[in-house]
């Protein structure tokens, strides 16, 4: 009898020891996986892991910054090898000696630390978004359900900066990006501007129109409200809408982007981050850059002469204000459609503001 009792005691002790070892190992495994927890939705992560998430995010951003900085140095080195620097041709003819195009000087070397997803239709019109799952997780403010008109005064709806604020320039009847953002992001509100159309594309259902605001004007380098067509600067539109921050800026304005963003940078050049460096109040930008058929951009309020030196100076000013290129997609539509347009002169970029304390991507 005594032997049986001793045997049972020993068995119980062994079981307890095994359980302790197993639990200890599981705890160790959880600790080892702490750096990967930011990949999970916030609701699934205990508050005690918030420090680990922040540490992980900063490490990823620091690594991206290092990679981007290397590409900046390589850009300068590659430009210095061309005899026409700083007036380098966009598409050199002597590819044996100078095997690069303008897009090779400006690669997307800053990696988005979150998920990056394509939103909208495939092909022209869809955009890549850094941290789409972060935007989807944001709580929605209480939107009024008043009608479905294209244009309305937003001041009486909800607080100006509530929700995810999106600006979209260049609608052209294609709103698949905006429609999907409204469908997937409950907090999204979208302001759209285009002087060439009367409203949003048919992709946005009437049930979501109360979260959209449209005005038939163009984006320009100067305020010309009485012109035909009328043009507004981005700072003026933000002031009109009572916005001090834009979470996402989508822009496709056929060459006017250079002067329009120059005006925007002029307005916010004195705004500084905690580090004391200039920063612009935008979380991320989806933009199509245009080079025109030559070096001159035509059309209403277009950017005029845009050579390599002008492009490089403009691009690097954006970088100095915290913007980082995190995605690139060459637009080959014109290349394949028109024989005389043999060069890829339109390219989609995603810039992420890496110096922005207000962005929901870095919280």
| Residues 253 and 169 sit within 8 Å (Cβ to Cβ) | yes
Are 350 and 294 found together in one domain?
yes
Are 21 and 135 found together in one domain?
no
Residue 21 in this model has a pLDDT that exceeds 70: no
Q: What is the per-residue pLDDT for 294? A: 43
Q: What is the per-residue pLDDT for 342? A: 65
Are 28 and 116 found together in one domain?
no
Please name the residues in contact with 181: beta carbons below 8 A apart, sequence gap of 6 or more. Answer: 119, 135, 166, 188, 190, 248
Long-range contacts of the stretch 330-337 (C-beta < 8 A, 24+): 330/103, 331/124, 331/288, 333/123, 333/124
Are 28 and 161 found together in one domain?
no
Pairing of strands 282-290, 296-297: unpaired
**Residue 38 lies inside a defined structural domain of this protein:** no
**Residue 308 lies inside a defined structural domain of this protein:** yes
In this structure, is the dihedral angle defined by the CA atoms of residues 82, 80, 255 and 344, taken in order, positive or negative? Answer: positive
Are 95 and 27 found together in one domain?
no
pTM score, whole prediction: 0.80
Are 258 and 131 found together in one domain?
yes
Are 66 and 20 found together in one domain?
no
Residue 4 in this model has a pLDDT that exceeds 90: no
Alpha helices for 214-346 (secondary structure H): 234-240, 257-268, 308-320, 333-337
**Residue 50 lies inside a defined structural domain of this protein:** no
Tens digit of each residue's pLDDT (9 = 90 or more) over 236-283: 999 999 999 999 999 999 889 999 999 999 999 887 777 778 889 999
**Residue 42 lies inside a defined structural domain of this protein:** no
Q: Please give the residue that has the higher pLDDT: either 70 or 302.
A: 70
Q: What is the per-residue pLDDT for 258? A: 94
Are 8 and 111 found together in one domain?
no
Q: What is the per-residue pLDDT for 45? A: 47
Are 115 and 202 found together in one domain?
yes
Residue 75 in this model has a pLDDT that exceeds 90: yes
**Residue 86 lies inside a defined structural domain of this protein:** yes
- Residue 278 and residue 318: Cα distance in Å, rounded? 10
**Residue 147 lies inside a defined structural domain of this protein:** yes
Among 15-29, 108-122, 125-139, 181-195, the minimum mean pLDDT is found in 15-29
| Residues 210 and 144 sit within 8 Å (Cβ to Cβ) | yes
Are 9 and 111 found together in one domain?
no
Q: Within its chain, how far is the Cα of 343 from the centroid?
A: 26
Q: What is the per-residue pLDDT for 97? A: 85
Of 100, 106, 68, the C-alpha closest to 82 is: 100
Average pLDDT, the chain: 82
Alpha helices for the chain (secondary structure H): 2-32, 50-80, 102-105, 132-136, 176-184, 234-240, 257-268, 308-320, 333-337
- Residue 268 and residue 224: Cα distance in Å, rounded? 20
Q: Within its chain, how far is the Cα of 91 from the centroid?
A: 27
Pairing of strands 188-193, 212-215: parallel
**Residue 243 lies inside a defined structural domain of this protein:** yes
Counting every residue written for the chain, the total comes to: 363
Tens digit of each residue's pLDDT (9 = 90 or more) over 304-357: 568 899 999 999 999 999 999 999 998 877 677 766 656 788 899 999 999 988
- Residue 29 and residue 44: Cα distance in Å, rounded? 17
Are 90 and 159 found together in one domain?
yes
Please report, for residues 78, 83, 88, 344, the alpha-carbon distance to residue 94 in angstroms, rounded to integers and kept in the order given.
15, 12, 12, 17
Q: How confident is the model at residue 47 (pLDDT cuts 50, 70, 90)?
A: low
Q: What is the span of the domain harbouring residue 334? A: 55-362
**Residue 39 lies inside a defined structural domain of this protein:** no
Q: How confident is the model at residue 141 (pLDDT cuts 50, 70, 90)?
A: confident
Are 183 and 101 found together in one domain?
yes
Count of structural domains within the chain:
2
Residue 216 in this model has a pLDDT that exceeds 50: yes
């Amino acid at each position: 009898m005594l032997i049986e009792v001793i045997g049972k005691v020993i068995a119980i002790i062994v079981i307890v020891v095994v359980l302790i070892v197993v639990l200890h190992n599981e705890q160790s495994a959880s600790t080892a996986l702490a750096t990967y927890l930011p990949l999970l939705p916030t609701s699934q992560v205990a508050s005690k892991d918030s420090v680990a998430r922040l540490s992980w995010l900063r490490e990823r951003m620091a690594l991206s910054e290092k990679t981007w900085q290397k590409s900046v140095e390589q850009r300068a080195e590659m430009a210095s090898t061309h005899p026409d620097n700083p007036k380098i041709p966009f598409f050199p003819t002597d590819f044996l000696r100078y095997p690069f195009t303008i897009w090779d000087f400006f690669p997307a070397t800053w990696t988005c630390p979150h998920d990056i997803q394509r939103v909208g239709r495939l092909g022209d019109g869809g955009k890549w978004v850094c941290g789409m799952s972060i935007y989807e997780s944001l709580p929605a403010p209480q939107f009024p359900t008043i009608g479905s008109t294209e244009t309305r005064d937003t001041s009486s709806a909800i607080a100006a900066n509530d929700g995810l604020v999106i600006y979209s320039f260049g609608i052209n009847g294609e709103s698949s990006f905006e429609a999907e953002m409204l469908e997937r992001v409950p907090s999204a509100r979208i302001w759209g501007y285009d002087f060439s159309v009367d409203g949003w594309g048919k992709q946005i259902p009437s049930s979501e129109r109360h979260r959209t605001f449209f005005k038939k004007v163009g984006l320009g380098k100067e305020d010309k409200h009485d012109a035909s067509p009328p043009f507004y600067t981005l700072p003026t539109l933000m002031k009109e809408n009572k916005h001090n921050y834009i979470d996402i800026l989508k822009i496709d304005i056929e060459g006017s982007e250079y002067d329009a963003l120059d005006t925007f940078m002029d307005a916010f050049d004195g705004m500084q981050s905690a580090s004391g460096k200039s920063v612009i109040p935008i979380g991320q930008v989806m933009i199509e850059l245009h080079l025109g058929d030559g070096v001159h951009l035509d059309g209403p309020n277009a950017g005029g002469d845009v050579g390599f030196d002008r492009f490089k100076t403009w691009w690097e000013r954006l970088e100095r204000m915290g913007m980082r290129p995190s995605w690139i997609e060459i637009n080959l539509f014109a290349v394949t459609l028109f024989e005389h347009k043999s060069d890829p002169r339109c390219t989609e970029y995603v810039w992420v503001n890496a110096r922005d304390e207000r962005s929901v991507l870095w919280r």
